């Protein structure tokens, strides 16, 4: 945590008076002056060594300021689901603080599943307040890489498979965080779509696919969200590492999009001084001069943008043109965050943050299946006997998974949440069912749980089945966890199936009790060979501190589920475009430790592939049921045709024809049936979450312009909307179109 107060920084600044009426106050200290003017003034006062010192880390999570001028350090913290606990200065191990616990918010897959920008704004504001209270300047998140394969171990940190959904949800998150004077660092830019071989994979992607699928969320983060920093990714693109990549960072990010913030390397993502100088990297963290080979004293000075950079300047091999641009960006970031005097104080582990975490979790849980209305469980018509089965019902999920691992003040398990909600209206029993990962430790943060169980798989299943036969309802809580090769940084899953032989447990329970509810906890799609045998299935994500309470709210009907899937659940792994047409995990070059991976599926990612190939998914993108019923009317347009400089508005009435209040996510897809290039069958171009009382009808409207009709033409490097007939589809999911309207672009 920062030690010097802002007042002290000012008083040491060059020995100058800093009173409000002092004419000699340096411009860079005067927040009434334009930001660029302040930056130029500060830049003019820096020595070469001070400039270089601003460009690289001085510890695991901080970079230098300029003490002589009262310019403070920058402190970063991992996100994007909570503020990471403090680690030692030069190590990943815990610093041993007792006041660095946090609220864990739901993982970003859950946020995306809300399809609700209001939840994204609440999320950003809340986590930003926690980061601000902890005196952090940069929150390393959110993540917006596209869900290309369900094997990617880091998908749970991202916002799904669709660029429009991700772009829409990331903007209010950024604005919420930065309203606290804390910078978001949107990651991982770009094409970081797997963890396997993440440091050595060279993504081979055509420009149309890059611009239509993998860049829109990053562009929205810059041009609409105004993010103050962006993190480069580990992988290569065009044979250059993404953290110093001419095309991604200079040509697109800074020149095309006008990004005026800081490009931060992922920890260890920089590999070369000259490329770091010329190819867009501004602030270097985590390079492998970690004290083991260079010596602890000069480890950070040995970074690529440290002493090696000074030597190139002093020898005349490089100019200071790039240096001054980098320093301007870093100074601007410091003035926006660490030196911003009117930012709020923030708050940590507040009641409002727990309420926000629960609200977001409730809004994002997806009801995948509910045959015979098994859900919600009614506790008002006699005392119930409920059996909860599964390791994920008791295992802490906030510890592990990589850099997003957290030290929480508390975490409500699904079992505890169910028991608390049921109270004396039900007897809630537990059976283990299976043993998965009994560990609970990451970088010195421990769950404190002892999950060891020496019983055999047969014994565990037998116990669960016998108890299930006597229960009114059985709730199986399983899925993945945050161990290696599941939902975890630096490793991918081995396959689509559930681990730890959970399928056998579920199938046995289905035979023992007709009222079986499966709660799948994961950030990825999983195979469900038992899907037709289980009447009710919930997709519950990693829900953070309030996980158990959110699950209980939905199971017992206090919350009517309204989440929708932000990615497709395939029947088989081979049904996914990246595995059917594309290369995964890539092909190793004969002469180098580089894996070339061709994205041969192109723009047909997620539902676009399933639509085009006519493949039936297990659960479609945008799918999600409710405890009530929604009827759609006819989609109409306010005009029959539009020109390129006009908009068109579509309206569709939606009615809650059921008996419970609820929310429906109405989705608008656009089709271009006749085009000179291949286009998806339809693409998401609008959505709205509408809340309806029983019997209530509301008109849902969408207004689009030619951007929603355009494709990216790589040859001309422009977005093109070809005149002709288009179709607009109002849908409840990508495979559930309710009404279609035809219109013309003239």
- The length of the chain is 746
Residue matched to tokens 């005067």: 30
Could you tell me if 712 and 208 are in contact, meaning their C-beta atoms sit under 8 angstroms apart?
yes
Helix 35-44, helix 321-336: angle, nearest 10: 120
Give 248's contacts (C-beta < 8 A, 6+ positions apart): 189, 190, 232, 237, 242, 280
Which helix (H) or strand (E) element contains residue 321? helix 321-336
d(CA 362, CA 345): 28
Beta-carbon-side half-sphere exposure of residue 284 (alpha carbons within 13 Å): 32
d(CA 468, CA 463): 9
Q: Are strands 711-713 and 718-720 parallel, antiparallel or unpaired?
A: antiparallel
Residue matched to tokens 């190939």: 613
Assigned token pair, 8: 């002290």
Could you tell me if 52 and 63 are in contact, meaning their C-beta atoms sit under 8 angstroms apart?
no
Beta-carbon-side half-sphere exposure of residue 587 (alpha carbons within 13 Å): 7
Give 623's contacts (C-beta < 8 A, 6+ positions apart): 366, 368, 564, 565, 732, 733, 734, 735, 736
d(CA 549, CA 556): 11
Burial class (CB in 10 A: 0-12, 13-18, 19+), 283: buried
CA dihedral 24, 29, 31, 32 (to 10 degrees): 20
d(CA 298, CA 23): 40
Beta-carbon-side half-sphere exposure of residue 342 (alpha carbons within 13 Å): 3
Exactly one of 78, 137, 162, 266 is catalytic; name it: 266
In angstroms, what CA-CA distances link 405 with 81, 100, 102, 442, 591? Answer: 9, 13, 11, 7, 37
Which residues on adjacent β-strands are paired with residue 739? 730
d(CA 634, CA 636): 6
Beta-carbon-side half-sphere exposure of residue 503 (alpha carbons within 13 Å): 11
In angstroms, what CA-CA distances link 219 with 128, 224, 337, 704? Answer: 21, 8, 22, 18
Phi, psi (deg, nearest 5) at residue 124: -60, -45
Assigned token pair, 313: 């300047």
Phi, psi (deg, nearest 5) at residue 483: -85, 165
3-class secondary structure per residue, 289-306 = CCCCCCCHHHCHHHCCCC
Beta-carbon-side half-sphere exposure of residue 113 (alpha carbons within 13 Å): 38
d(CA 106, CA 526): 19
CA dihedral for 511, 512, 513, 516, sign (positive or negative)? negative
Q: How much is the CA Rg of the chain, to the nearest whole Å?
A: 26
Give 23's contacts (C-beta < 8 A, 6+ positions apart): none
Residue matched to tokens 């970690």: 290
> Shortest CA distance to 596 belongs to which of 152, 191, 233, 268?
191
Give 312's contacts (C-beta < 8 A, 6+ positions apart): 273, 274, 277, 318
Residue 266: active-site member:
yes
Assigned token pair, 462: 């037998």
Catalytic center residues: 266
């Amino acid at each position: 945590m920062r030690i010097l107060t802002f007042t002290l920084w000012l008083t040491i600044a060059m020995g100058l008076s800093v009173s409000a009426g002092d004419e000699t106050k340096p411009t860079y200290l005067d927040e009434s002056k334009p930001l660029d003017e302040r930056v130029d003034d500060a830049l003019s006062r820096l020595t070469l060594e001070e400039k270089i010192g601003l460009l690289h880390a001085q510890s695991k999570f901080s970079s230098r300021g300029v003490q002589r001028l009262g310019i403070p350090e920058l402190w970063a913290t991992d996100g994007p689901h909570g503020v990471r606990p403090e680690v030692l200065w030069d190590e990943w191990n815990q610093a041993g603080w007792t006041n660095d616990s946090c609220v864990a918010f739901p993982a970003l897959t859950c946020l995306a599943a809300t399809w609700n920008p209001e939840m994204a704004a609440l999320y950003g504001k809340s986590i930003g307040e926690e980061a601000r209270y902890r005196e952090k300047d940069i929150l390393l998140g959110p993540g917006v890489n596209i869900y290309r394969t369900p094997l990617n171990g880091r998908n749970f940190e991202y916002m799904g498979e669709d660029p429009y959904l991700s772009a829409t949800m990331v903007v209010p998150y950024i604005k919420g965080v930065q309203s606290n004077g804390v910078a978001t660092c949107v990651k991982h830019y770009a094409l970081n779509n797997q963890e396997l071989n993440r440091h050595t994979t060279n993504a081979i992607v055509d420009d149309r696919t890059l611009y239509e699928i993998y860049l829109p969320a990053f562009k929205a983060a810059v041009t609409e969200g105004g993010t103050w920093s962006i993190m480069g990714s580990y992988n290569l693109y065009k044979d250059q590492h993404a953290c110093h990549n001419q095309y991604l960072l200079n040509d697109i990010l800074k020149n095309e999009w006008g990004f005026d913030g800081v490009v931060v390397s992922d920890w260890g993502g920089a590999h070369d001084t000259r490329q770091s100088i010329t190819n867009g990297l501004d602030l270097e963290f985590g390079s492998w001069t970690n004290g083991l080979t260079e010596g602890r004293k000069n480890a950070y000075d040995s970074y690529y943008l440290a002493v090696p950079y000074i030597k190139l300047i002093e020898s005349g091999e490089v100019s200071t043109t790039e240096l001054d641009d980098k320093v301007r960006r870093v100074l601007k970031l410091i003035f926006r965050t660490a030196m911003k005097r009117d930012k709020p104080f923030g708050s940590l582990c507040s009641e409002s943050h727990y309420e926000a975490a629960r609200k977001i979790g409730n809004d994002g849980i997806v009801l995948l299946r509910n045959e015979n209305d098994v859900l919600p469980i009614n506790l008002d018509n006699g005392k119930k006997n409920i059996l909860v089965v599964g390791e994920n019902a008791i295992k802490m999920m906030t510890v592990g998974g990589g850099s997003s691992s957290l030290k929480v003040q508390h975490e409500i398990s699904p079992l505890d949440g169910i028991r608390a909600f049921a109270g004396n209206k039900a007897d809630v029993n537990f059976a283990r069912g299976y043993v998965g990962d009994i560990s609970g430790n990451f970088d010195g943060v421990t769950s404190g749980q002892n999950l060891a169980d020496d019983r055999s798989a047969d014994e565990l299943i037998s116990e669960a089945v016998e108890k299930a036969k006597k229960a009114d309802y059985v709730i199986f809580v399983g899925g993945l966890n945050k161990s290696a090769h599941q939902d975890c940084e630096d490793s991918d899953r081995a396959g689509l199936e559930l681990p730890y032989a959970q399928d056998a447990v579920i199938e046995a329970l289905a035979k023992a009790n007709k009222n079986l509810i499966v709660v799948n906890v994961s950030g990825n799609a999983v195979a469900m060979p038992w899907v037709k045998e289980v009447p009710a299935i919930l997709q519950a994500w990693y829900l953070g501190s309030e996980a158990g309470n959110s699950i209980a709210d939905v199971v017992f009907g206090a919350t009517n589920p309204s989440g929708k899937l932000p990615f497709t659940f395939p029947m088989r792994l081979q049904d996914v475009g990246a595995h059917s047409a594309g290369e995964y995990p890539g092909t190793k070059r004969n002469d180098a430790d580089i894996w070339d991976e061709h994205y041969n599926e192109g723009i047909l990612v997620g539902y676009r592939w399933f639509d085009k190939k006519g493949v039936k998914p297990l659960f479609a993108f945008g799918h999600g049921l409710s405890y009530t019923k929604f009827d759609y009317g006819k989609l109409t347009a306010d005009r029959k045709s539009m020109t390129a400089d006009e908009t068109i508005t579509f309206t569709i009435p939606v009615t809650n024809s059921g008996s419970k209040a609820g929310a429906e996510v109405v989705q608008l897809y656009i089709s271009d049936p006749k085009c000179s290039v291949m286009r998806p069958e339809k693409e998401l171009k609008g959505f709205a979450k509408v809340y309806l009382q029983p019997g209530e009808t509301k008109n849902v409207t969408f207004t689009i312009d030619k951007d929603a009709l355009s494709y990216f033409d790589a040859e001309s490097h422009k977005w093109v909307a070809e005149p002709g007939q288009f179709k607009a589809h109002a849908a409840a999911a990508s495979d559930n179109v309710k009404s279609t309207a035809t219109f013309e672009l003239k």
